[in-house]
Chain A
Amino acid sequence: MSEQQPLFSPRNPWFAASVGVTVVIAVLSALAGLIWLPLAQPDLRLSGIWDAICSAAGVPRAAPQADTLQPDFKTSNVVMTSEMLRRPNQVSIGRGATLAQRCAICHGPQGVSDANSPNLAGQYAAVTYKELNDFKTGARVNTVMSPFAVNMSNQDMLDLAAYYSYLPRVPTSHANESLPEPPIVTTGAPMRNIAPCGSCHGDLDNKAGSPWLGGQSAVYIKAQLQAFASGTWRNDISQQMRNIARHMTPEEIDAVARYYEAQP
């Protein structure tokens, strides 16, 4: 019927019908999706048709500033990425070694101490850097650490972090690898929305910003978990640790602290 007729011509019935039907469907679905359906939702509080189209098309809009609640405490300004400080340079490590002499009284000359202050030898550089930075900005407060950090430059903190991550992890006096893994470490508690500790802190996987916990003092770990639970320590990004610690039982906190202290 249309062999002689050119295909791309409105007089060709195949052309007219297929293009016509496609355009009608596209226009109707656009009208419904971009205008009718958004306007039918009072929650969107749209001011008119153009507003509806922009909203449904996904045009980014600035959130009204007035509604944001500002916290009454300082929050961490460190942006963590998985690749952060993964490639240290030797000069930075050397400078860090000099600076670290100030820290040795509590953290040990080799980054390991029995003073119940954290062992820093072999700690991920990003972790040490973030904590120092948070002490400096006031996002984390500690009577001893805060005055040290206030006067540090950004480079000082980077150097210290690089130095401590360079030091080898040393077996502690509490090592006992035969201690069974508490369930909270391997499987977490899904009903309480607690991920396994090991999925961030090392046994199964390491996530950006999560410290290595092996060999840390049990007293220290327990105190920090309690501080997270009570909300006195709150520089964890998006409340990751506070949400976990709040839902942990005191027995679980004890078990975790003892378990990690005994790990290499």
Chain B
Amino acid sequence: MLTNKRLILAHFWLAFAVFGLALVLGAWQMFVRSPLNVWHFDPEFYYRSVTAHGSAMGYVFPTLVAMGFGYAISEVSLERPLVGRRWAWAGFLLVAVGAVVAMIPVALGFASVLYTFYPPMVGNAFYYIGVVMVVVGSWIWVALMPINLASWKRDNPGKPVPLAMFANVAGAYLWGWTAVGAALEIIFQILPVALGLRSTIDAGLARVFFSWTLHAIVYFWLIPTYIAYYTIFPRAIGGRLYSDAMARISFILFLVVAMPIGVHHLFADPQVGAGFKFMHSVFTGLVALPTLLTVFTICASAEIASRLRGGRGAFGWLTALPWANPIMLATALSLVMLGFGGAGGLINMSYQLDSSIHNTQWITGHFHLIFGGAIVIMYFAIAYDLWPHLTGRALESFGLMRTQLWLWFIGMIVTTFPWHYVGILGMPRRMAFYDYANPAVSPQAFSVSMSVIGGLILLTSGILFLVVLIRGQIAPRREGGAYRFAVAVHEPSRIPVALNSFGLWLALMIGLTVVNYGYPIGQLMALSETNVPAVYVGAGR
């Protein structure tokens, strides 16, 4: 039952518009720092562009997708209109205005600090204020999701919460808590300096706070994708979900162990003790578990669908899958990218292996493959699946959709595989210029050029995606029927309270955060001599 279609569509359209703009910047960045470009540009523009691309793709785009999809899940799975519709619009406006407020100083070159902020670099205060507005807007969504669930639970005591809503609320809680780290960093550390109230900043502490956000934010981006795996994919291919309980356990594991692992981003940082780095590394290893459970469950669900369609044999059932179905294709391509990206991630989380690729282009390749590849391709799938129900119009460009999804997959592989490779060769990240004439750098020239081609393929695919959506928006009206999520082979009728509520898991999440972050943060806060002078970016020019 979708009642607030305009609200949900507004979120998706703004998300995809921001995505389109940021995609153009990304392709331009690939080009200008490659050997295909003779060096005749101001490197400052590169950093402006990277800041805009990262802030749009990291903060605005996935947040809006999660919010819009979350509202849709709430209405469809709980079968009731959204509670707090006005608040939801207010949240949307905050995100939209925040994005503009943040982008103006970036475009003017007053805040080329990259989306990860990197203190002691400090840019124009409005950039950070804009980011805070985006986060506060998303926190309204964070509050609305549990409120809607609670009101449903009041009217349906003892009933199992629908899986999609359970996962959605897990995502909301995860984001609510993980955004606290960056919020503390911006509000108490960076903004006072950006506003001129202080001139020094504890860069080490700021990085620890940011790591609190930086890793779990990826799981926040990932949750809509996993919801699509579990609740859209089995239905779309005409099957059933293999296990409802396994799905719940996966989302619970994300909630509990996605948070206290961020210090693996700080392996090369001296301000965190080696013991805590080890502990975070252990929990990073654990977070592979929900992904492995998911891959198993989704493959099992695909097999169920295939055998229902007459698939035979140990592997022969693969051929009986509905490969022409865009959701089938997107999920399969997403799982392939998740496999490669996950394997790279296991390298990043190991202290010893990380030291050979830390701060190289490997890292940039890795998070583009996981986020831009495995996650975003499922955002496309979500949009394709929901669109007819949101617009009330048919979405029938199936050939175009398949081309778009294949191009995105190919583009992402062609972009990120050479990217990983030059990282192993030692190419540093976050640089505007590489002297490819230099004998030490020239072996990377071919791989970087290949990445540029991948970037152009991605840009083409992104344009096709928007074309499909626009065609869906102007197609003739047709009733699409009620939207519904996949049902499990064994739908739960009675369910343990632990798999139907969040209290225990939130307690564990907060408890583990205190155990893993308490001492490093407390110590840095207690030390007075860890502040350094701020470096104002864009000032005095």
Contacts and interface: CB of A to CB of B under 8 A. Distances in A.
Nearest to A30: B279
Interface in A90-131: none
B43, B276, B536 — most chain A CB neighbours (10 Å): B276
B481 interface: no
Interface residues of A, number: 36
A83 B535 CA distance: 8
Interface residues of B, number: 46
A33 interface: yes
Contacts of A19: 504, 508
B527 A60 contact: yes
B498 A14 contact: yes
Q: What is the predominant secondary structure among interface residues of chain B facing chain A?
A: helix
Contacts of B273: 55-59
A59 B272 CA distance: 9
Given A29-B282, A187-B435, A18 B504 contact: yes
> Which residue, of B273, B512, B519, has the highest number of chain A Cβ atoms within 10 A?
B273
Interface string B241-276: 000000000000000100000000000000111111
A3 B496 contact: yes
A86 interface: yes
A53 to B, nearest CB: 7
Greatest chain A CB density within 10 A among B275, B286, B497, B508 is at B275
Contacts of A22: 256, 508, 511-512
A8 B534 CA distance: 47
A25 B285 CA distance: 11
B498 A25 contact: no
B399 interface: no
Nearest to A28: B282
B497 A2 contact: yes
A187 B535 CA distance: 24
Contacts of B460: none
Contacts of A7: 497-498, 501, 503-504
Interface string B493-522: 010111101011101100110011001100
Contacts of B256: 18, 22
B441 interface: yes
B225 to A, nearest CB: 25
A195 to B, nearest CB: 12
Given A33-B274, A59-B523, A204-B43, 5 more contacts: A22-B256, A57-B273, A57-B275, A58-B275, A83-B540
13 contacts: A3-B158, A7-B497, A26-B515, A29-B278, A55-B274, A57-B273, A57-B519, A57-B523, A58-B523, A82-B540, A83-B533, A83-B536, A191-B440
